[in-house]
Amino acid sequence: MFLGVCTVHIAHAQENTPVSERFENTLDAFGLYYYEPTEAWLHPVPQQLKDYGPFDMILHSSDEKIEIRYRFKKIKSKQDLANHPQLDMFQYVASLSSNEQRPNITLTEIESAIIDTVFNADWGLYADFQPKESLASFPFCRLIGLYKEGQAMIYSMVFYEDEIPEYFDLPISFREEE
């Protein structure tokens, strides 16, 4: 079922994407596919906070009560923190999550078969947490961190109120190597 949904998104992706030319160029530079959700209408919004970014794209839907943000980090050298995906992601989650006494952060490893075949990545992890109020007006966040060795560390995060929409299972992936 999941892969069937992915195929539909792949066929639909990049045709009706409500993204800027700058974002499309960034996707090309990082070798990424963006999968446009077919069930919801998302529109780009300008960046307002630079404390937690920069973000490469911010999409919002008041109907779905969600906001999706993307951040891409190019691997420049072996010393880059982004070249160590676990450390980079843990640091990023710590900076985005609430500073409450008992923060509830749940980390879930993505199965290697899904990492390989669906995301075309070398590593991946989900993080569910309560974001800082200064970051988002939504009470929950799911962050997907994906890493491709020698290429990039990418973050896709959805801020939501009630539930995570199903289409967030595959918001973005690396392109298959040719």
pLDDT of 48: 65
17 phi/psi in degrees, rounded to 5: -65, 125
pLDDT of 74: 87
pLDDT of 4: 38
- What's the one-letter identity of residue 35? Y
% of the chain surpassing 90 pLDDT:
34
pLDDT of 129: 94
Contact 151, 31 (CB under 8 A): yes
pLDDT of 58: 83
User: Nearest-CA neighbor of 124 among 143, 140, 110?
Assistant: 110
| DSSP secondary structure letters along 95-142 | HHB---SS---EEEEPPHHHHHHTS--SEEEEEEEPBPTTT-SSSEEE
% of the chain surpassing 70 pLDDT:
76
Judge whether residue 158 has pLDDT over 50: yes
Judge whether residue 132 has pLDDT over 80: yes
Distance in angstroms (rounded) separating the CA atoms of residues 28 and 138: 30
Q: For residues 85-109, give the mean pLDDT.
A: 87
Q: For residues 32-60, give the mean pLDDT.
A: 74
Least confident range of 30-44, 58-72, 132-146: 30-44
pLDDT of 10: 38
Question: How confident is residue 38, by pLDDT bands cut at 50, 70 and 90?
Answer: low
Determine how β-strand 140-148 pairs with β-strand 123-129.
Answer: antiparallel
Domains in the chain: boundaries: 2-174
| Exposure string over 38-69, b if 16+ CB within 10 A, otherwise e | eeeebeeeeeeeeebeebbbbbbbeebebbbb
- CATH top-level class of 2-174: alpha beta
